[in-house]
Amino acid sequence: MSTGSNPSLPLVLLHGWGMNAAVWDGLPPQLGGLPIQTIELPGHGARTPARADLWAWADACLEAAPEEAVWLGWSLGGLVAQAAALRAPKRVRGLIQLTATPRFVQAADWRPAMAEETLGQFHQGLLDDPSGTLSRFLALQVRGSDAARETLRTLRQELAARPEPDPRALADGLDLLRDEDLRGQLPDIACPALWLFGSHDALVPAAVAERIELIMPGARTQVIAGAAHAPHISHRRETLTAIEGFVAEALG
């Protein structure tokens, strides 16, 4: 399936929970020939918080996005990108999911996910120690990675590069991670899709790839060996190669 022949179609990038657009600073200005445009999630970086609703977050990002684009979302940003593709299918011409999932917490029929208690601990931590909670979340993102120490250092530097996220947005984002479940709506996303996972990811297990292949038979999935939750930092070459290959095929 093709997204069209426009070589200047932008590539919109959405970061994850607690982060900001600085996470993309190490990327080239174009990927697969597509110019990059970063958008910060509501309440992150310099953005004003939206209402505590996934669709409101998607609408806020759509308002800041080009009329048509390929969308790439990392972690929570991936969930928002899924919602944007469902909300405005004619505007999202391709979808790249970077260590993302349609459901972040475990259920009886969805075991490859975080335990709900884990998110509960982060919720409580936000009340007691917001900065310490963000630091612990960063550490969890790199756990098991081949380059954990270097990746954690980079994430901390990027987090410090922009204004601190709004505490309300952090709490709302955790609610989205805990409550949202887009599994039943994924088949409605008709644009080309690529799902990238890290083999050592402690937040979004690589086993999600098998579930995505069942839910979205037309989607491409790939597991990056040795990566955890931030493969665009720890395994940049492999990640960029996968994205560029997908863009070339989807636009071909």
> Which amino acids are annotated as binding site for substrate, given as ranges?
17, 75-76, 137-141, 229
37 and 65 Cβ atoms separated by less than 8 Å: yes
* Tokens matching residue 44: 């992150």
Report the alpha-carbon distance of residue 246 to residue 223 in Å, rounded.
Answer: 14
For residue 44, indicate whether it is catalytic.
Answer: no
* Catalytic residue (choose from 172, 201, 234, 235): 201
* Catalytic residue (choose from 15, 44, 59, 75): 75
* Catalytic residue (choose from 229, 232, 234, 235): 229
Write the CB contacts of 1 (distance below 8 Å, at least 6 apart in sequence): 190, 191, 192, 218, 250
Report the alpha-carbon distance of residue 97 to residue 121 in Å, rounded.
Answer: 26
For residue 200, indicate whether it is catalytic.
Answer: no
For residue 234, indicate whether it is catalytic.
Answer: no
Nearest residue to 147 via CA among 226, 242, 229: 226
Using alpha carbons, list the distances in angstroms from residue 174 to 40, 99, 159, 177, 183: 16, 16, 17, 5, 18
Q: Annotated binding residues, as ranges?
A: 17, 75-76, 137-141, 229
Q: Which helix (H) or strand (E) covers residue 208, if one does? A: helix 208-215
State the catalytic residues: 75, 201, 229
